[in-house]
Structure 1
C-alpha cells in the first residue's frame, strides 16, 4: 500500500493509503508478469513458418527496344526484398518467412505447379500469370485452402464475372488505370482525344477501358483509329524505319484534338508516337504519360529508403511489378 498525503477540514496534513494505488500496483505487477511469461513462451517455442510461393511465366516478351526488356528478376526482386524486411520484424513476432520462386516456361502447367507448391507446405502464392492461367491455378488451389495474390493480370473480369474468393488483387485493372489517366487529362483541360488502339486482343481491352473512362469523366473522342500490326520485325532497321515513317502520316488529317491516347499493350507502335505525330500534341496511355501503380519519383511513406535498399541489393530501379 502506498501512503498519500491529504488535507483535513482544519487544514492539517494527514497521511494514509488509497485503494486506487493498491489496484494500480497490482495491475503493474500483473502486466510485468504477463510480459515475462510471453517472452519466456516465445523463446521456448519454434517460430511460425510462413511459406510463400512466387508463380510466374518467364516466356520472353517482345518489346520495341532492348532497353524496355524487363529484367529477369522483375517482380520477384520486390518479393525478395519484402521477405527480408518481414523477417527482420518477424523475429519480434516469432515468425519466419520463406519464398520459393517457381518459373513456368513454354508448355509448363500452372495447375501442376500449384499442386506441387501445396505439397511443399506453401499456403500463400504470389501469381504473375495471364488471366486464364491464374483462374485455373486458383481453382486448383481453392479446395486446398491456397490464397493467391494477383500481381500481373489487369483484366477487369477477374474482379467481376470471373472473381475468385481465394484471389486478392494488388495490380490495378485496366479500368482503374484508364480512370486515373482520364481524370488527369480532363483536369488539364485536354478533353478532346485522338484514340489509337492496337490490333491485338489486349490492346482492344485497354481501348474499351479508355472509352468508358472518357465517357465517365467528360472527355470526347474526336476520332477512334486502329493501328494494324503487320508482323514486321520490330528491332530491325527496316522495321523501325517503317513504323517511324508511318506514324506522322497515320495521324495526319485528324480532327482537332488536345492529346493522343494510345492503347498498345503489345508494344508495337506507341513508343514511337511521342514527337512523331503530325500535329505537335502530347501523348498518353501506353506511351508518354503512362498511368502506373508505381513510379520512381514517389518519395513518401518511406519510399526513398525502400528504393535505396532495392537499388543496393539488385543494382536497378524498382518497377511497378516489383
Structure 2
C-alpha cells in the first residue's frame, strides 16, 4: 500500500494553496515591474497600446456534503471532566471541508457542507426527507445511534446516497444489519477490543477479570471483549457485574470497587462502562495492583489528545484553532468522512457523485489519515481499515495492529470482522 498521503504532503498542499491565493490574478506583485523596453513604447499613445488580457476566474465544480445528526442525551460528567461538546463530529466535518477546498481548487473542485441537527424527540425521517427534497446531497455524514442510521439507510430518499457512520460502533451494522451504501468511519467495538487483546497478548497478560456495567453499551462492549479474548487466546477468568446507577460512586469508590474487582487470579482488569458510571474511579481502587483497560484506564480509540506522529500534530493544531478544543474520535471520524470524499474527487478530478461513490467503495481506493498507513474501506462490510491507538491520558502506549499479528491481505484486517466472519450480504456482488 502507499504510505500516508495526508501527513506532510497534505500540509504542503495547504501551504501551496495559500501561496496560490497570494499570487492570484489581481493580487499585488511581490517584485517591481520591469522597465519599459524602448522609446517607441514610451511614446505610444494609449490608443495604440495593446489591451490588457483579462483572465476569467476558473469555474469550480461543486461537491456537496451534508452533515446529519441526531442529538442524544448526554450523561453528566464526573470528576470535573469536560462535558461532551454539542458540536462533536460537526467540527471535524467542517475541518474536512476546509482541507478539501485547500487541495481541490488545484483540480477545479469546490466542496461545501450543510448541516441538520435533529433533537432527541424530533422526527428524524421527516427531517431527512426534507433535506433530500431540498438539496438532494449524495454524501451524508451521519452522527446518530445505530437504529437511526438504519432508518436513514432504509429510507426511499437514500437510494443513491452514501452514508458515512461517524459515531455508532455497533458490530451488527458491519455484520447481519449492514447496508450497501453505508460506510463506517468510526471503529466498531470489536475493532477496539481486538486492538486491546493484541496488546494484552503481546504483554502476556493472559488472565482477564471483566467488570461490566448494566447498560446496553456496557453489555455490547463486554461481548466484544469476550469474543476478542477467544480470538487471541486470552482467558476471562471471572466476570463481575457492577451497577452504579443512581449513586455517587466517588464517595464509596474505595470500598465498592475494591470489592467488585476481587476475584480469581488475574493479570489485568477489563472494564466495560460506556455510560461513565464508575470506570474513571476504578484505576488504583482495584483489590490487586493490576492495570485497568477497556472503556477506562488504557483505552483503545481511533484518536486522542496524545496522538502526534505522522504529522498528526498538525491536524490537531488546525482542529484546535477551528473548534477551540481537543479533537476526539467522533471529531476525527467526521473529518475523515469528508476528507475521504474530497480525496476521491481529487483523484478523479471530477465532481460526479456516481464516480466518487464507486471509487470510495472500490478495492483500489486509498486515503491518508495522519496514521502512517494508507486507509481504505472494506469491500465486504464498508468498515474503514485503520490503526487503533491504545491511549493513556498522557501518552500513546501502543498502536494496533501490533507487530507479529499477521494477515494474508493486510494486518489491519486483524482488527474487527474479517471477510469470512462477517454476515454482511448487502455489499456482495
- The TM-score bracket by the shorter chain reads 0.7 to 0.9
* Superposition deviation, residue 63 in structure 1: 4.0
| Larger helix proportion of the pair | 1
* Superposition deviation, residue 168 in structure 1: 0.5
- With the length of structure 2 as denominator, give the TM-score of the two structures: 0.61
Q: How far does the alpha carbon of each residue in 1:123-155 deviate from its partner, in whole angstroms, 9 at most, with x for none?
A: 211111100010001111565411100001011
- SS of 2:330's equivalent in the other structure is coil
* Superposition deviation, residue 60 in structure 1: 3.3
- Show the counterpart of 2:257: 247
* Superposition deviation, residue 298 in structure 1: 2.5
* Superposition deviation, residue 263 in structure 1: 0.8
Distance in 1, matches of 2:156 and 2:163, equals 8
- Show the counterpart of 1:223: 238
- SS of 1:69's equivalent in the other structure is coil
- With the length of structure 1 as denominator, give the TM-score of the two structures: 0.80
* Superposition deviation, residue 98 in structure 1: 1.2
Q: 2:222 aligns with which of 195, 204, 207?
A: 207
Structure with the greater alpha carbon radius of gyration: 1
* Superposition deviation, residue 249 in structure 1: 2.1
Distance in 2, matches of 1:107 and 1:250, equals 37
2:164–2:184 contact (8 Å) kept in structure 1: yes
What RMSD, in angstroms, separates the aligned Cα atoms of the two structures? 1.9
2:240–2:260 contact (8 Å) kept in structure 1: no
Distance in 2, matches of 1:114 and 1:230, equals 34
Counterparts of residues 178-193 of structure 1 (less than 5 Å): 178-193=193-208
1:118–1:144 contact (8 Å) kept in structure 2: no
* Superposition deviation, residue 178 in structure 1: 0.4
- Show the counterpart of 1:269: 278
2:211–2:260 contact (8 Å) kept in structure 1: no
Q: Which runs of 5+ in 2 are unaligned?
A: 1-54, 332-429
1:114–1:141 contact (8 Å) kept in structure 2: no
Alignment length (residue pairs): 275
Q: Which runs of 5+ in 1 are unaligned?
A: 1-41
* Higher RCO (C-alpha 8 Å, min separation 6): 2
1:48–1:95 contact (8 Å) kept in structure 2: yes
CA separation of 1:73 and 1:141: change in aligned 2, threshold 3 A = farther
- SS of 2:141's equivalent in the other structure is strand
Q: 2:118 aligns with which of 81, 84, 104?
A: 104
Q: 2:74 aligns with which of 50, 61, 68?
A: 61
Q: How far does the alpha carbon of each residue in 1:13-43 deviate from its partner, in whole angstroms, 9 at most, with x for none?
A: xxxxxxxxxxxxxxxxxxxxxxxxxxxxx96
- SS of 1:321's equivalent in the other structure is helix
Instruction: Out of 110-119 and 212-221, give the one that drifted further.
Output: 110-119
1:64–1:271 contact (8 Å) kept in structure 2: no
Instruction: Out of 43-52 and 159-168, give the one that drifted further.
Output: 43-52
Distance in 2, matches of 1:266 and 1:258, equals 25
CA separation of 1:243 and 1:68: change in aligned 2, threshold 3 A = farther
- SS of 1:223's equivalent in the other structure is strand
Q: 1:50 aligns with which of 54, 63, 66?
A: 63
* Superposition deviation, residue 215 in structure 1: 0.9
CA separation of 1:306 and 1:170: change in aligned 2, threshold 3 A = same
Q: How far does the alpha carbon of each residue in 1:148-182 deviate from its partner, in whole angstroms, 9 at most, with x for none?
A: 00001011110111110110111111111100000
Instruction: Out of 242-251 and 215-224, give the one that drifted further.
Output: 242-251
2:140–2:163 contact (8 Å) kept in structure 1: yes
